[in-house]
Each structure stands twice: as C-alpha cells, then as structure tokens.
Amino acid sequence: MIQKEERFRCRNCGYCCTQIVIPTKKEIKKIQEAGYDPEDFLEEDRNGRKRIRMKNYYCYFLGLKDGETFCRIYEIRPKVCRQYPFFKEVTAECMPPKMFDDKMIL
C-alpha cells in the first residue's frame, strides 16, 4: 500500500552528519574530482570498507559558518546523504546490503 507523501524540513542541526556513510566508487571519484584527497576524507572500517572519515563524531565534510552547519559537498553528496532521513539505520539486527561496483545487492 502506498503511504501519503512524507516531507522533511532540514533544521541544519547536523544530526544527519553523525551517520556512517559508505560511498560508492563513483561517489568517491566525484568527490575527488571536486578537489578533495581520498587520503583526507576516507577511512577504513574494521571490515575493510571505505567510509567517509568522522571528525569529532561528525562527517569530515560538515562545515560551520555563522553558527549554521552545512555540507561542504552538498551538490555532490552521496546518495545515502540525499536520502536522509528516509533510510533504515544499520543495526546489529539489520545488516546493510552488499555493494558491488555501485550496484546494491539486497
């Protein structure tokens, strides 16, 4: 059954930037082409997956200007960031889908 359309209004609180983001190879390339060095913005998790580096519990790309938070790569941010808050959080009970060459295997 289709539910009514849900809307989300950003409050610039930065909470979305506390989520773990595992970008696809294409997303990494786009960010790199925008002038960012993968050595600076990526880190490996304990499973060997590359993810966006966290700084003080926030995404590497979270900026602060005039008391407002903002995404420094907003126009090219990863898909999972674009979908926030309309995605299921990964928990011990719910393992994430596998990613292979930018295709999601459910």
Q: What is the C-alpha to C-alpha distance for residues 62 and 25, in angstroms, rounded to an integer?
A: 21
30 belongs to a structural domain: yes
pLDDT digits (tens, 9 = 90+) for 49-104: 999 999 989 999 999 988 888 999 999 999 888 877 666 555 444 444 554 445 54
Residue 23, pLDDT > 90, answer yes
19 belongs to a structural domain: yes
Query: Are 50 and 22 spatial neighbours (Cβ–Cβ below 8 Å)?
Result: yes
Tally the domains of the chain.
1
- What is the residue type of 50? K
Answering whether pTM is above 0.75, one says no
Token pair belonging to 32: 């790199």
What is the domain range of residue 77?
A: 15-98
Q: What is the C-alpha to C-alpha distance for residues 78 and 67, in angstroms, rounded to an integer?
A: 24
Q: How confident is the model at residue 36 (pLDDT cuts 50, 70, 90)?
A: very high
